[in-house]
Amino acid sequence: MPDGTTGTGIGAAVKRVEDFRFLTGKGNYTDDINRPGQSFAYILRSPHAHAKITSIDSSAAKAAAGVLAVFTGEDMQVGSLPCGWQIHSKDGSPMLEPEHPPLAKGKVRYVGDQVAVVIADTYSQAKDAAESIVVNYEVLPAAVSMSDALTDKSLVHDDIGSNLCFDWEIGDEAAVDEAMSKAAHITKIDLVNNRLVPNAMEPRAAVGEFDAATGEYTLYTTSQNPHVIRLLMGAFVLSIPEHKLRVVAPDVGGGFGSKIYHYAEEAIVTWAAPKIGRPIKWVADRSEAFISDAHGRDQINHAELALDANGKFLALKVQTQANMGAYLSTFAPCVPTYLSATLLAGTYTTPAIHANVKAIFTNTVPVDAYRGAGRPESTYLIERIVDQAARETGIDKVEIRRRNFIPADAFPYQTPVALQYDSGDYEATLSSATKLADVAGFAARKAEAASRGKLRGMGYSTYLEACGIAPSAVVGSLGARAGLYESAEVRVHPTGSVTVFTGTHSHGQGHETTFAQLVSDRLGLPMENIEISHGDTNKVQFGMGTYGSRSLAVGGEALIRAVDKIIDKAKKIAAHVLEASADDIEFKDGNFTVAGTDRSMAFGEVALTAYVPHNFPHDELEPGLDEKAFYDPANFTYPGGCHICEVEIDPETGVTEVIKFTAVDDVGRVINPMIVEGQVHGGVAQGIGQALLEYAAYDENGQLVTGSFMDYTMPRADNFPKFDVTTEGTLCTHNTLGVKGVGEVGAIGSPPAVINAVIDALWDRGVRDMSMPATPEKVWSALQAAE
Amino acid sequence: MYEFEHHKPASVADAASAMKGADDGKLLAGGQTMIPTLKQRLASPSDLVDLSGIAELKGITVSGGTVTIGAMTNHAAVAASADIKSALPALAELADHIGDAQVRNRGTIGGSVANNDPAADYPAACLALGATIHTSQRDIAADDFFTGLFETALEDDEIITKISFPVASKAAYVKFPNPASRYALVGVFVADGPAGIRVAVTGAGQDGVFRVPEMESALSSNFSADALANVKVSADNLNADIHASADYRAHLITVMAKRAVAKI
Ligand SMILES: Cc1cc2nc3c(=O)[nH]c(=O)nc-3n(C[C@H](O)[C@H](O)[C@H](O)COP(=O)(O)OP(=O)(O)OC[C@H]3O[C@@H](n4cnc5c(N)ncnc54)[C@H](O)[C@@H]3O)c2cc1C
């Protein structure tokens, strides 16, 4: 592979080619799409967390100005919104899977649940008319918290008979109990992983359209995975065959997981379009996004870590309660289980691990994957309990980590919770981070802060995650109802420019740059001759989309395989024209050369020959130069690293300021260091957001109290210092690029580093625990209580 | 947003008569509170009387020991005014920390004071400095103006024209922002001026802005941060919400007051 640190190849910090259109307002988002004759939908949502719908009178709304139709759950008799992952409880029974109608039938189950849709000539008319719909509710007691849901008689879904969706386990409980009984010390911890509202910059939107002439439906939607939406909505909800259903996810303004799922509104506008004979647009406003986008996290954990007298970890036992919300969102069940509990070894050699996960229905917005998806939860648990064990045993917090690291020469490393890590060097990232964070100078900085009446603390997180989610066979055996390969097509045009069709989707990640760099690197073409196309199921072959930091490790690898097929065929064409053997053709810098001669053909000439095949090996090859690859990896990838956070707390007000944040991440080979740095910055911002600022609060009636930016603390630039971010790589061993993925590491690694730093700062004042988010009031109250 | 009639008068007199002629008219200044209220359909005025075309409502003058600010002057203009920065720098600094740049370039002092949001910043300055609120009908002392949560002494059709602040020899404002909205969770304005030594608190009170007599008397005998260290404010009539309990707000009042005095 050429050294691409200059130019546009692998390793070059190429400026993002997509940014010109984004920064000049020329992006094409779903709300920018306006179809001829388009109408507008307004969704009437439940104001109650839990209620029976005794009647709906929409006659006034139907008669209102501009109104084309009003539909309720009675009218919309379609399939249930499906769940894409099935978990089995430890007794072998399948998880309870309640029906999830796009429009509520008979009962509403959270504030925000869809009750009716009004379709009118304008959005205002639809909204005006919705006010005249009379819904009679019989309000029921709501199971708002998980403990309410487990103890109350109030059932979120009467027909399934329980609020316990599943009761799952992983690991060897007997081995753990045995180790616990012999331990020199057991550290116990209780944690809450706070519920978050994703808040992508672009709220969700959908435009549904039906062409009566062809019988084809089109859905434009804010999705991270248009093919998955086509499959789920077409096959399970609306019974539209795939060849008659086109799903387009154009430019999408951020997803963070919240735009993976198949949502009711997508099905509603697609289903209703032929009924009214016009395209229908629905766009969420921000308040609506707060109560209708799937939320993230929301776990309660109890954990116990057994140590021997030398501080070696013997066993880890975890009990988790995971909030599913009112319905099962598309991938909700896999988040606390296969994306979380399987990570409980972290970077450590803990030989025995057992986890029990109870998933619980509550009368709240459904909860699903959010940047990191399960891995932030396990990372937070491990890195908090390790710090606490260090405090309790008197072993230095860095030393206790070192004693327990999986050594760099122990890979591949089989953990006791299913995963086999392929590569890593945790000592290397720790020692680099230690230098970059100037740990040596910390004592002096702490003393200086103390002289100003401030409390300084430093916290570590030496984390690991599993991403690039795949392989299909493995996820299938774990309950996935889908495959997790990825696809790419490389279409070389007659004059040698290239269009790549990728099954992944870019909604901020910069694929149009990174993927073009891969092609530029491999084919020796300038960036401007390469176009990356994604998001339209009528253009792109079936693909699984973007989440779980999988695009490069799975989609990029598929792309490389397709490119290699192109090179292979092109060599044969060049060999024919140059009258040499294909084995003697060398491909370098965009030229095919007969080894040891000056006879060569440029890539463009080969492309032209493929499409104007006058002199062509017709016996051996078909004309054209267009190749496809589907790639299903052998394993997950395992990024990891070390985050060090330094905070300063004002004990008078309880305000925590992040002074310095250092991240040294092993993400495998770096294709574009600038994009990688940007991904880590964004992830760390979200991680600090979770640790210090953000949480979704419900009151006892199930109303979302933090339902707008007036109360939900979105992180802002002035909440952060400049981050010190770098990468230090081992390569992934099972893909040819050696890449691991970087989309989520920032959000996964950072929260425990922040909270460990806060506890470190408060420790001398007697504070022993802190929960997320560590708001000023919480910190101040903890200091008061410790006095 | 519901439909309404839009008026854009060129004088205060025309604005007043537009209001009189309307069924349920509302004044529109910078719209930073009004427009979100309309968009969320929390208000349905028959008419909106837009004050942005009235030249006499804009502008800043400093003379004879008084800073006078036209009702339609936006926060950014107050923050940037060299005259205010030299005569009453605490007021410019207060304006500079309202909301964000967009809000400061739209939101007006008249709108802010008329709205009397319990977490707004200007009411603390008005009360601590003993400002006068001039309207289309009369002059109202700040002491009589803020009557409760979102409540003022303004009559239905009364229009604030300007606000005048006597220049104080000592003045400072310190705000503890709500982490989400950045409005004042607790804001304390301390002044020693023609109205005497005053400590006014916004963000914390159940009835909006209020003065703290114990602090004022402590400062009268010893104008120093130390003098306030042991003055505890009762949590009894303070707000409590997800961001701050009444006790925490009470504590922050003392801390912010100390910091304001220390700044002077
Ligand atoms: C995101 C955001 C953050 C904010 N942060 C802060 C903050 O940190 N601190 C703070 O103090 N404020 C804050 N505000 C409020 C803002 O500063 C404005 O001052 C406030 O919204 C009102 O001013 P306006 O000019 O926008 O008035 P409008 O919204 O136009 O009007 C508000 C009310 O006042 C009435 N009114 C307006 N002008 C007059 C007049 N001349 N006479 C009589 N009645 C009148 C209107 O009829 C209406 O009832 C924030 C607002 C937003 C949107």
Note the pLDDT of residue A779.
98
- The answer to whether the Cβ–Cβ distance between B248 and A780 falls below 8 Å is yes
The Cα of A124 is separated from the nearest Cα of chain B by a number of Å equal to 8
At residue A475 the predicted structure's pLDDT band, cuts being 50, 70 and 90, is confident
Is the pLDDT score of A3 beyond 60? no
Return the ligand 1 atom nearest residue B108 CA.
Answer: 25
Order of all β-strands in the sheet with A164-171: A164-171, A352-361, A313-325, A299-307, A185-193
CB of A20 within 8 Å of any CB in chain B? Answer: no
Q: Give residue A192 CA to ligand 1 midpoint distance, Å.
A: 38
Where are the domains positioned within chain A? Answer: 33-140+201-254+259-292, 299-469+635-786, 485-631
Chain B partners of A780 at a C-beta cutoff of 8 Å? 248, 251
Note the pLDDT of residue A273.
98
- For A662, the 3-state DSSP assignment is strand
The mean pLDDT of A429-452, rounded to a whole number, is: 98
Per-residue pLDDT tens over the stretch A42-51: 999 999 999 9
At residue A190 the predicted structure's pLDDT band, cuts being 50, 70 and 90, is very high
Q: Give residue B114 CA to ligand 1 midpoint distance, Å.
A: 8
The mean pLDDT of B210-236, rounded to a whole number, is: 96
Q: Give residue B183 CA to ligand 1 midpoint distance, Å.
A: 12
Domains A33-140+201-254+259-292 and A485-631 share a fold: no
Q: What is the ipTM of this complex?
A: 0.96
Chain B partners of A710 at a C-beta cutoff of 8 Å? 180-181
Q: Looking at the DSSP assignment, which residues form a beta bridge with residue A562?
A: none
Return the ligand 1 atom nearest residue B57 CA.
Answer: 41
Residue nearest to atom 34 of ligand 1 (CA): B111
Topology, domain A485-631: Aldehyde Oxidoreductase; domain 4 (3.30.365)
Residue nearest to atom 49 of ligand 1 (CA): B115
Instruction: Search chain B and give the residue with CA nearest A651.
Output: B255
Compute the distance between CA of residue A33 and CA of residue A30 in angstroms, rounded to an integer.
5
Q: What percent of chain B has pLDDT over 70?
A: 100
Is the pLDDT score of A511 beyond 70? yes
Question: What are the backbone angles phi and psi of residue A645, rounded to the nearest 5°?
Answer: -115, 135
- The answer to whether the Cβ–Cβ distance between A776 and B245 falls below 8 Å is no
The mean pLDDT of A560-576, rounded to a whole number, is: 98
Given a contact cutoff of 8 angstroms between Cβ atoms, the answer to whether A553 and A469 are in contact is: no
Helix locations, A526-631, DSSP H: 557-578, 603-611
- The answer to whether the Cβ–Cβ distance between B181 and A710 falls below 8 Å is yes
Instruction: Search chain A and give the residue with CA nearest B175.
Output: A653
CATH code 3.40.50.720 for A33-140+201-254+259-292: no
Compute the distance between CA of residue B12 and CA of residue B57 in angstroms, rounded to an integer.
8
Q: What percent of chain A has pLDDT over 70?
A: 99
Computed on alpha carbons and rounded to an integer, the radius of gyration of chain A in Å comes to 27
Mutant choice from A131, A695, A708, A710 vs B, greatest count of B C-beta within 10 A: A710
Per-residue pLDDT tens over the stretch B132-141: 999 999 999 9
Chain A partners of B242 at a C-beta cutoff of 8 Å? 697, 705-706, 711
CB of A714 within 8 Å of any CB in chain B? Answer: yes
Taking the CB of residue A28, how many other CB atoms lie within 10 A of it?
A: 11
Chain B partners of A714 at a C-beta cutoff of 8 Å? 180
Topology, domain A299-469+635-786: Aldehyde Oxidoreductase; domain 4 (3.30.365)
- Among residues A148, A154, A138, which one has the least CA distance to residue A53? A138
Where are the domains positioned within chain B? Answer: 5-51, 58-263
Average pLDDT of chain B is: 97
The Cα of B41 is separated from the nearest Cα of chain A by a number of Å equal to 10
Note the pLDDT of residue A6.
56
Note the pLDDT of residue A785.
97
Compute the distance between CA of residue A488 and CA of residue A469 in angstroms, rounded to an integer.
17
Note the pLDDT of residue A1.
36
**Which residues make Cβ contacts (< 8 Å) with residue B35, sequence separation at least 6?**
none
Note the pLDDT of residue A141.
96
The mean pLDDT of A565-582, rounded to a whole number, is: 98
**Closest to A777 (Cβ–Cβ): which among B40, B180, B243?**
B243
Per-residue pLDDT tens over the stretch A292-339: 999 999 999 999 999 999 999 999 999 999 999 999 999 999 999 999
**Closest to A713 (Cβ–Cβ): which among B2, B179, B251?**
B179
At residue A414 the predicted structure's pLDDT band, cuts being 50, 70 and 90, is very high
At residue B179 the predicted structure's pLDDT band, cuts being 50, 70 and 90, is very high
CB of A713 within 8 Å of any CB in chain B? Answer: yes
Is the pLDDT score of A702 beyond 50? yes
CB of A700 within 8 Å of any CB in chain B? Answer: no
Residue nearest to atom 46 of ligand 1 (CA): B27
The CATH classification of domain B5-51, taken from the options 1.10.10.10, 3.30.300.30, 2.40.30.10, 3.30.43.10: 3.30.43.10
Cα dihedral across residues A250, A256, A259, A264: positive or negative: negative
Q: How far is CA A69 from CA A38, A123, A173, in A?
A: 14, 13, 57
Q: Give residue B246 CA to ligand 1 midpoint distance, Å.
A: 25
Helix locations, A131-203, DSSP H: 146-151, 173-181
**Closest to A653 (Cβ–Cβ): which among B176, B242, B243?**
B176
The mean pLDDT of B2-19, rounded to a whole number, is: 96
Per-residue pLDDT tens over the stretch B57-90: 999 999 999 999 999 999 999 999 999 999 999 9
**Which residues make Cβ contacts (< 8 Å) with residue A445, sequence separation at least 6?**
A456, A646
pTM greater than 0.80: yes
Q: Give residue B110 CA to ligand 1 midpoint distance, Å.
A: 8
Per-residue pLDDT tens over the stretch A740-761: 999 999 999 999 999 999 999 9
Return the ligand 1 atom nearest residue A709 CA.
Answer: 1
Given a contact cutoff of 8 angstroms between Cβ atoms, the answer to whether A444 and A524 are in contact is: no
Note the pLDDT of residue A468.
86
Instruction: Search chain A and give the residue with CA nearest B186.
Output: A653
Average pLDDT of chain A is: 96
Note the pLDDT of residue A474.
85
At residue A4 the predicted structure's pLDDT band, cuts being 50, 70 and 90, is very low
Note the pLDDT of residue A170.
97
Chain B partners of A787 at a C-beta cutoff of 8 Å? none
Taking the CB of residue A326, how many other CB atoms lie within 10 A of it?
A: 29
Q: What percent of chain A has pLDDT over 90?
A: 96
DSSP-assigned states of every residue in A737-775: T-B---TTHHHHHHHHHHHHHHHHHHHTTT-----SS--
Is the pLDDT score of A5 beyond 80? no
Residues framing ligand 1 (Cβ under 6 A): B 26-34, 51, 71, 75, 98-99, 103, 107-108, 110-112, 114-115, 120-122, 154, 159-160, 182-183
Chain A partners of B252 at a C-beta cutoff of 8 Å? 653
At residue A2 the predicted structure's pLDDT band, cuts being 50, 70 and 90, is very low
Topology, domain B58-263: 3.30.465
The Cα of B179 is separated from the nearest Cα of chain A by a number of Å equal to 6
- The answer to whether the Cβ–Cβ distance between A653 and B242 falls below 8 Å is no
